[in-house]
Structure 1
């Protein structure tokens, strides 16, 4: 890999990491190419990105994005995205189905975090679930008013008869 290619990778990753809400580091040693493609497909569906990057290049890109506090060692695959909960769910679910895939550490909301915090974020309800809960909460008073008005209508009809 030439210096120009390395510089391009660092620049792209630096920009990606500046915009990301979470960057998760995982060990992927022993996984097949098809299994990694499965991870990429799942991540794409959740608008997360996955890439294997040399530790030196990733460290420089993280430093450029002002993310510090985690030292990269051994083999790493990086998973990052704009939604911390969705990205955490991607890696957590993949790790449950593939024992060779291990969550090491992460930056969540620009703070260093361990694997336990990633797992905790994965257990939180996602954006769609929260929107559904909010809609149900907003609809509850309207539903009660509807039942009340219907009961009043039936009572008036019984009194008139």
Structure 2
């Protein structure tokens, strides 16, 4: 990789890290290509990016994007996106399936450094779609109960006639 290519990559990563609400750093030592492709496929569906980046370039891009100082050592894969819940769900699910070879190290949510335990707890929260479904269920409940009550009243009147 030439110096110009490295500079372009750092500029691109800086822009992406600035817009990302969540970023994770994970150790992927020993993971096969097929497993990484599965992670990338799941991430792509959730509009999350997954990339192996040289530690030096990642450090520069993170610093340029005003991200918190993250512990970047050894082999790392970076996962980032807009929705921290879906990002955490993808990473934690993949880490559980590949426990010996894929480890979540640290991350940044909305510009704040977070540890592995925080990431796991965020992954257990309901997703945006699940929350919308719950809200719609609550909103439609009175109408459902009203319709059920009217139907029961109709049945009762039919039995009395």
TM-score when normalising by structure 1: 0.93
Q: Secondary structure at the match of 1:106?
A: strand
Question: How far is the alpha carbon of 1:7 from its aligned partner?
Answer: 0.9
CA distance in 2, matches of 1:74, 1:144: 58
- Report the number of matched residues: 160
Cα RMSD (Å): 1.3
Is 1:22 equivalent to 2:29 in the alignment? no
What is aligned with 1:102? 103
CA distance in 2, matches of 1:7, 1:69: 20
What is aligned with 1:56? 56
Within-5 A mapping of 1:1-161: 1-98=1-98, 99-157=100-158, 161=161
Q: Secondary structure at the match of 2:67?
A: coil
5+ residue gaps in structure 2? Answer: none
Question: How far is the alpha carbon of 1:147 from its aligned partner?
Answer: 1.5
Question: How far is the alpha carbon of 1:32 from its aligned partner?
Answer: 1.4
Say whether the 8 Å CA contact 2:14–2:62 is kept in structure 1. Answer: yes
CA distance in 1, matches of 2:34, 2:148: 54
CA distance in 1, matches of 2:40, 2:152: 54
Question: How far is the alpha carbon of 1:156 from its aligned partner?
Answer: 4.4
Q: Secondary structure at the match of 2:73?
A: coil
TM-score when normalising by structure 2: 0.93
Deviation per CA, 1:15-63: give whole Å up to 9, x if none: 1111111100000111112221111111111211000001111111111
Q: Secondary structure at the match of 1:61?
A: helix
CA distance in 2, matches of 1:158, 1:107: 64
Q: Secondary structure at the match of 1:105?
A: strand
